[in-house]
Amino acid sequence: MENKIGVTLITGFLGAGKTTFLNNLIEKYPNTKFAVIENEFGEVGIDGGLVVDKQEDIFELSNGCICCNLNGELRDILRKLLQCENKIDHLLIETTGIAEPSAVAAAFVGDPGIASIFEINATVGLVDAKNFVQSLSDHEVALKQVAFSDILFLTKCDLATEDEIKSAALQAKLINPAAFVERIYNGEKVENDILSLNSYNANKVEERTSFIQHHHEHQHGDVVSYSFTFEGGVDPVKLEMWLSVLLQLQYEVIYRFKGIFNIKGETNKVIVQGVRNESKIVIGNPWKPSEDKLNRIVVIGKGIKKEAIERKIKSILR
Ligand X SMILES: Nc1nc2c(ncn2[C@@H]2O[C@H](COP(=O)(O)OP(=O)(O)OP(=O)(O)O)[C@@H](O)[C@H]2O)c(=O)[nH]1
What is the binding site for ligand X (CB under 6 A)? Answer: 12, 14-20, 47, 97, 155-156, 158-159, 184-187
Q: How far is the CB of 208 from ligand X (least distance, A)?
A: 25
Q: How far is the CB of 270 from ligand X (least distance, A)?
A: 36
Q: How far is the CB of 283 from ligand X (least distance, A)?
A: 37
Q: 3-state secondary structure string, 74-141? A: HHHHHHHHHHCCCCCCEEEEECCCCCCHHHHHHHHHHCHHHHCCEEEEEEEEEEECCCHHHHHHHCHH
Measured from the CB atom, the residue of 141 and 270 that comes closer to ligand X is: 141
Measured from the CB atom, the residue of 159 and 282 that comes closer to ligand X is: 159
**Strands, E, within 1-89: which ranges?**
5-12, 34-39, 57-61
Q: How far is the CB of 22 from ligand X (least distance, A)?
A: 8
Q: How far is the CB of 15 from ligand X (least distance, A)?
A: 4
Question: What residues contact 145, with CB distance under 8 A and at least 6 apart?
Answer: 11, 12, 13, 99, 100, 101, 125
Measured from the CB atom, the residue of 16 and 260 that comes closer to ligand X is: 16
Amino acid of residue 69: N
Measured from the CB atom, the residue of 51 and 304 that comes closer to ligand X is: 51
Tell me the CA distances in angstroms from 126 to 139, 194, 219, one per residue in order.
Answer: 15, 13, 21
Q: How far is the CB of 126 from ligand X (least distance, A)?
A: 6
CB 273 within 8 A of CB 279: yes
Measured from the CB atom, the residue of 43 and 307 that comes closer to ligand X is: 43
Question: What residues contact 73, with CB distance under 8 A and at least 6 apart?
Answer: 61, 63
Q: Within the chain, what is the greatest distance between any pair of CA atoms?
A: 59
**CA atoms of 210 and 204, how far apart (whole Å):** 10
Measured from the CB atom, the residue of 163 and 292 that comes closer to ligand X is: 163
